[in-house]
Amino acid sequence: MPGPSLPPPVGALRDALRAALDGGPAVVPLPRTTTGAPPAGTTLVVRTSGSTGTPREVALTADALRASATATHERLGGAGHWVLTLPPTHVAGLQVLVRSALAGTPLTAADPDARFTPDGLADLLEPALAGDGPVYVSLVPTQVHRLLAAARDGAARGLAALARCGAVLLGGAASPPALLAQAADAGVRVVTTYGMSETAGGCVYDGAPLRGVRVRVRPADPSGPARGVPSTEPDGSGAVGVVELGGPTLAAGYLGDDAATAAAFRTDDDGSRWFRTSDLGRLAPDGTLQVLGRADDVVVTGGVNVAPAPVEALVGELLGGEACVVGVPDPEWGQALVAVVALPSASSVLAPLAPDDVARVRAAVATRLGAPSAPRRVYRAPALPLRGPGKVDRGGVVALVREHEARA
């Protein structure tokens, strides 16, 4: 039941979700952007992050939300005390409320207007950890970066509390391998999640689908947004395609956009329904899903297609920060591959890395991923621009680089 640590707006939203799951009116956490009542059976209307353009409104049913919450608790080993640090208007934060409401377990939540800080997280987690049973929290990679950086600077309360949690769901953006390794070394039980509003949140945990969820990889439609994507992974190890997800967690569709619903949600001849994501991925020999980034993030440089995600993971590992790799218009290459790395010690403006460091990064990337994947330029910044809960704003990164280079 909501306690003193649950801000009234969050408690009211949790109560509304509980009522909606039992057949009450649909919950709409943000002002509607489309007209008309949601279709019958809608329990929650949630906006997408807008990564592919204008955000859309997604209709989720009680069955989809229940399937997601039940499978999550099953994967984690049982229900527990949830701690909410994410916005309760996006699907990841809303699912924390749904899981708590359905399981009838305690919930602790940050003030929705409060800025995330490592000590603030410790203040939320420590009372919850004093109780019985496991404590769960959902975070985005940027928050874990900040926790690790604070611990390196001597402020380890947040990271120490996180290490006592039963599980830390990490999603909303790609989780660099170096970040996962550092968290594991600190004793944090990270469970990486992959999903989106259209799948009622995360539905693939540590590469393996939750119970009932289906995953497949399909060739890119040459007429669609995935045109020109690589046919193999950057290291040449296997075929790459567009990720499609199926199963009981799928949304009913988009509100006010029948064409978009028909394009994204497809039904096979056998009656199985699938959601076609905008992400590239491959299935490993053991059946786990490896997500390589968004199809429309692929950079074409010198006529070669480069998927940013593997480059970002390696650059971030080399430099010890969160990296974003983008294509910047270039007269010679069409698009020049440029990396921007968030380093807490960086100045308040974008600054180029020293030439020797750039050479080291380029050599390492060329050796591991091939010469076309080596960034032409590398910059450091105190933080990366974000959009939504922890998603890097790639357009914002391109704008930062172009503005800096125009002044140079």
Instruction: Read off the pLDDT of residues 31-63 as tens digits, 9 standing for 90 and up.
Output: 998 888 898 999 999 998 765 557 899 999 999
| Residues of the chain above pLDDT 90, percent | 66
What is the DSSP annotation of 128-141?
Answer: HHTSSS-EEEEE-H
Mean pLDDT of 74-86: 96
Q: Which domain holds residue 342?
A: 298-407
Instruction: Clarify whether residues 278 and 343 are in a common domain.
Output: no
Residue 200 exposed, middle or buried by CB count within 10 Å (0-12, 13-18, 19+): buried
Rounded to whole angstroms, the Cα distance separating 101 from 72 reads: 14
Instruction: Clarify whether residues 153 and 187 are in a common domain.
Output: yes
Instruction: Clarify whether residues 287 and 398 are in a common domain.
Output: no
CATH number of the domain at 321, please: 3.30.300.30
| Predicted confidence (pLDDT) per residue in 288-333, tens digit | 999 888 887 888 898 888 888 889 989 998 998 889 999 999 888 8
Number of residues assigned to the chain: 408
Rounded to whole angstroms, the Cα distance separating 328 from 336 reads: 5
H or E, element range at 91:
helix 91-103
| Predicted confidence (pLDDT) per residue in 178-231, tens digit | 889 999 999 999 999 999 999 999 999 999 999 999 999 998 754 443 333 444
Counted domains in the chain:
2
- Give the predicted TM-score (pTM) of the model: 0.81
CATH number of the domain at 201, please: 3.40.50.12780
Instruction: Clarify whether residues 365 and 399 are in a common domain.
Output: yes
- Mean pLDDT across the chain: 89
Instruction: Clarify whether residues 53 and 119 are in a common domain.
Output: yes
User: Which of 244, 277, 294 is the C-terminal boundary of a domain?
Assistant: 294
User: What pLDDT is recorded for position 292?
Assistant: 83
Rounded to whole angstroms, the Cα distance separating 279 from 264 reads: 12
